[in-house]
Amino acid sequence: LKREGPGRDLSVSISGSELRSWTGQLIDKGLGIIDSLLEQNHLTYQQIALCLPTGGMINMPAIRDGLRERFGARAPRLHNADRIISEGAAWIAHDDLRLALAKPLELLQSDDSFAPVVPLPFMLPLENQSIPAASAIYRCVDPRPGRASFTFARPRRLRARDARSERQVYATFQLDIDETATPLIERLELNLTIDHDYVAHVDLYSTMRQHRVKAEIFDLEFTLAFPVGVFPETKTPETDHEADIAPTAPGSAASAAHNGRVRLRSNISASDSWQNVPGDLVLQYRPYWFDERTRSYSDWQKEEWTYYKDCPYCHRRRYQYWTEGCNAVRCLWRTIYPVKNGVRLPQEQATRVPAPNTSDQTSAGATPVELTNVKVPIIELPKVAAPPPAATSSLSANELLGADETSTVSLPLAVTPPPPICPNLENEETEELDESDQEDEEAEEPEESDQEDEEAEESEESDDKTRQRRPRKYRVAPRTPPPARPVDSTKQRESSELRQSDRAFPLDVRLTYEKAGFCRISLLPRRAADFPDDLEVRTDYASYGFVVLQEEWYQDVIPDGLGVLLQKGIEWDAQLPDGRHARWSLPGRPIYVLGHHDMLSGYVATQRLIVGEDHVVLCLHERLPEVKEAIELTGSPPAIELNEANGLPDGWTGLRGVIPRRPVPPSPDGGILDVLRPLADVKISFEGGIRIDRQAWLHGYPPRIRLHGDTSSANDLLIDRLPASLTPDDSYEVDGWDSLGEHSVWCPSASRSYVICDGAEVWEVWNAYTPSIGSSADQRTARASICGALVRRGGKQTVIGHATVVPVSNSIILGANPGEIEICSVRSDLRAARCVGFPSFDPVWALPADPQRSSKETDRVLLVGDPLPVGPWPGGAFVRRHSTPQALKRVKRWCSAIRMAGQKGLRTEPNESDIVAVWQDYKRQAKMISRRSR
């Protein structure tokens, strides 16, 4: 083209069809990129509001047609389309617009949500800049793998508001952590900077393991940072839709599992909430975590916990049962996944099929129902290695999971109710029964009640908040799940919300023995951690001041007419200072079983008798014969009767020393006497020792490991996987069971763990008491500070001196080194013969305050410490150069005091020759120092 002449101009005529044929492939490829981009983002042409073609090529009819074909009028033809980019660049330069991060940089959390690490807006750095974008501390909720996973991602869509919508993962980094640490303990530091190339530099550091990971993230998305207000945030149908469909969006964290893909589960959390710790792990550190009374677990935690459990009877995992089957009659999984015609039904069908016949119940004609919150005990079982297939719902029953009535939780159950006695009564009598059943459950363990009952109660309360609740009637905790009615899930949710604000707590009945054969029955109101220390509870007849007893209970209350209340039941209501309502409930019943409690002294109400344990049974006078008869069936030794004369409430009799020897089958009707029929189960109990934390005992004071219940079915008991031997005091031991560290106890139907650890071995002195003397005295002028038996110098003195008591006549205390002198202050308000000084040195002598006026006959130089020789004296010139004026002054006073006492010729006490020799040396040294100091 540079050459001159005719060849300079090249003129070739090309028809449109020719051009189209030559470029058609390229055009199709370009338009195909649009198609694939939309497909990649799951968008249709119709969802594009505007397609703005730019650049000179847009004038090609084929391209124009291709865009029009896709977007129609939403791809307008602009008159300046060929230069709009350059015009835009000019405007950007003119407005001095900066580039910013287009989407937040996020981190996958342990709860499967994404939390922004670098939130928007975030201005990207200019040339040669590097901006710290984030600095945060995370914690690992599950340190067992020894690695924490940091998955960085960004939302696929702009302005995605929810934490679970679809994400584009940048990278996942593994940081080595301390696998032996408690969850949430080790701090994991994250520092993130973005440089001018828009590369994010990630710096991860585990503070205990001290492992560091440095990595880079390259493909950050950026955009122009328009002035605020240019694009008001409008809610688009897309973003609305996102919020709704987020949890199952393809490619999201949540959806990966549905797609069958393996997905990394994050084990880090920015918050130190135990709700993020895996359900099967949390129990190792929080044994009462799934206790419904506190209801602090998250739903997925419980789901995970139940998922990893195995059947307490056949010990098969869910997956094993599913693949191998089980012939055990009481197998938990058989109940959940019943066998019909020799085929195990899948989960979804299982919930629709009547449960197998158990005891006296029949499933004929039964309606499948969903029952929630039926009480089941916590059983800590060995971990399972392989995760069985997920089950979306679970079913269990009290009797199937074994027994530990001190700790109960609620699990969702699907059970088949027995047929109603009379269909017409189902909504009346049966309902009444159900309600009382559930009320019992709730009263025993708060928040464990049928949703519908709760709901009914809530609605009742909402009708009349001020109305006193009807006391509940007690029913024995059933050995099979009680019948329930289908409940509307919306109502369930509402009820649950209501329940959060209005919690029912039990009133535990306690019996304590007092002197001279007396006993005392009291009620212990249970307490939540966030409840105030003091609370006033008013009823129609009285008000009670609840004063905190310990973290989980208020102090005992002994209401008037306790006998009637125990029989009829109690419903107390109080408003908490933060406006919430709290309820305390005791279901009325004619019989109470009281047993030993891990954390309370005396005897505390329990669900039923336990084989081998000592109990007190309270019953109404009229029930005494049948109670005695029922107790006799358990093989218990004859019990000692207690009555009103012993301090029991009117109308009640007590039976002391009830120790059942054998289990008794429950009655078919589930009557109240079932509480006197112990189950054939086993409970591992840690007794005695000195417990310094939830599961930790002090080294040297381990717990005694005992089995309670029907120990004949317990077979072998393993401690730290070794067969334990029974000691004469009926506890189990193996070698090293009481050594430092974590230990596990296992028997076929139960398992527990405990830790032996050291306690504190260092205790600091503090100013416990700083007595002051005089009207203007305050802590700053305090003479002394007292802590236990220690007395030290008080006030804001920087020098700590321990109290040295000397006679008032000898109020000058000297140490061995020149300058060590302390003058005790003598109290003028007391005629005391002693005074106290706080020397910061080891005292040696106590001299008269004014030796020249002292009596040679009566006054002495007292030896008040070890007769230490005079310390080294470096010399006057050295001291003058290196000492403060105050120090020099003290040296002079030290010398002066000794010399004056010496000149007076005071004798030492004791006046033994070696002591006298030491004193003579002090006099000589004082004289020499005085001379050299001049």
Q: Which residues of the chain form contacts with other proteins (CB under 8 A)? A: 514-515, 534, 545, 547-552, 598-601, 688, 690-692, 698-701, 758-761, 763-769, 771-775, 777, 783-784, 786-791, 794, 802-805, 827, 829-836, 865-866
Beta carbon nearer to other proteins, 286 or 783: 783
Residue 834 CB, shortest distance to other proteins, in Å, is 5
Indicate the residue type of 710: D
Beta carbon nearer to other proteins, 159 or 699: 699
Closest residue by Cα to residue 445 from 586, 572, 582, 639: 586
What are 43-51's contacts with CB under 8 Å, separation 24+? 45/70, 45/71, 47/238, 48/74, 49/74, 50/74, 50/75, 50/76, 51/75
Question: How many angstroms from the chain centroid is the CA of residue 102?
Answer: 37
Beta carbon nearer to other proteins, 400 or 684: 684
> Is the peptide bond prior to 121 cis by the omega test (within 30 degrees of 0)?
yes
- Concatenated DSSP letters of 486-515: ---HHHHHHHHHHHHHEEEEEEEEEEEE-G
Residue 812 CB, shortest distance to other proteins, in Å, is 16
8 Å CB contact between 862 and 806: yes
Beta carbon nearer to other proteins, 331 or 756: 756
Residue 219 CB, shortest distance to other proteins, in Å, is 53
Residue 142 CB, shortest distance to other proteins, in Å, is 29
Residue 793 CB, shortest distance to other proteins, in Å, is 10
Beta carbon nearer to other proteins, 583 or 596: 596
Q: Report the distance separating Cα 686 and Cα 753, nearest Å.
A: 10
Q: Report the distance separating Cα 770 and Cα 118, nearest Å.
A: 52
8 Å CB contact between 374 and 397: yes
CA angle 202, 206, 212 (to 5 degrees): 50
Residue 513 CB, shortest distance to other proteins, in Å, is 8
Residue 297 CB, shortest distance to other proteins, in Å, is 23
Residue 592 CB, shortest distance to other proteins, in Å, is 20
Q: Report the distance separating Cα 744 and Cα 732, nearest Å.
A: 12
Beta carbon nearer to other proteins, 389 or 688: 688
Beta carbon nearer to other proteins, 357 or 601: 601
Residue 756 CB, shortest distance to other proteins, in Å, is 12
Residue 512 CB, shortest distance to other proteins, in Å, is 9
Q: Report the distance separating Cα 556 and Cα 100, nearest Å.
A: 63
Three-state secondary-structure class, residue 747 = strand
What are 316-324's contacts with CB under 8 Å, separation 24+? 317/384, 317/386, 317/388, 318/388, 318/389, 318/391, 319/386, 319/387, 319/388, 319/389, 320/388, 322/388, 322/389
Residue 500 CB, shortest distance to other proteins, in Å, is 24
Beta carbon nearer to other proteins, 285 or 701: 701
**Backbone phi and psi for residue 100, each to the nearest 5 degrees, phi listed first:** -135, 165
Question: Please, what's the largest Cα pairwise distance for the chain?
Answer: 142
Pairing relationship of beta strands 615-620 and 114-118 according to DSSP bridges:
unpaired
Beta carbon nearer to other proteins, 54 or 772: 772
Question: How many angstroms from the chain centroid is the CA of residue 354?
Answer: 39
8 Å CB contact between 685 and 743: no
Indicate the residue type of 611: V
Residue 810 CB, shortest distance to other proteins, in Å, is 13
Q: Report the distance separating Cα 860 and Cα 852, nearest Å.
A: 12
Helix (H) or strand (E) holding 535: strand 534-538
8 Å CB contact between 336 and 355: no
8 Å CB contact between 441 and 477: yes
Three-state secondary-structure class, residue 894 = helix
Q: Report the distance separating Cα 724 and Cα 521, nearest Å.
A: 39
Helix (H) or strand (E) holding 141: none
Beta carbon nearer to other proteins, 332 or 782: 782
Closest residue by Cα to residue 546 from 574, 588, 581: 574
Beta carbon nearer to other proteins, 711 or 781: 781
Residue 861 CB, shortest distance to other proteins, in Å, is 17
Beta carbon nearer to other proteins, 425 or 765: 765
Is residue 588 left, alpha or beta, with left meaning phi > 0 and alpha meaning psi from -120 to 50? beta
Residue 558 CB, shortest distance to other proteins, in Å, is 12
Beta carbon nearer to other proteins, 94 or 515: 515
Residue 769 CB, shortest distance to other proteins, in Å, is 6
Q: Report the distance separating Cα 23 and Cα 62, nearest Å.
A: 9
What are 868-874's contacts with CB under 8 Å, separation 24+? 868/815, 868/816, 868/842, 868/844, 868/918, 869/816, 869/918, 869/921, 870/816, 870/817, 870/818, 870/921, 870/922, 870/925, 871/816, 871/817, 871/818, 872/817, 873/818, 873/925, 873/928, 873/929, 873/932
Q: Report the distance separating Cα 792 and Cα 802, nearest Å.
A: 5
Beta carbon nearer to other proteins, 365 or 545: 545
Q: Report the distance separating Cα 71 and Cα 77, nearest Å.
A: 12
Beta carbon nearer to other proteins, 270 or 548: 548
Question: How many angstroms from the chain centroid is the CA of residue 544?
Answer: 31
Beta carbon nearer to other proteins, 484 or 782: 782
Residue 269 CB, shortest distance to other proteins, in Å, is 28
Beta carbon nearer to other proteins, 77 or 694: 694
Q: Report the distance separating Cα 844 and Cα 915, nearest Å.
A: 11
Residue 603 CB, shortest distance to other proteins, in Å, is 11
Whole-number Cα distances in Å, 378 to 288, 411, 637, 713, 818: 8, 10, 31, 19, 71
Beta carbon nearer to other proteins, 200 or 523: 523
Residue 808 CB, shortest distance to other proteins, in Å, is 10
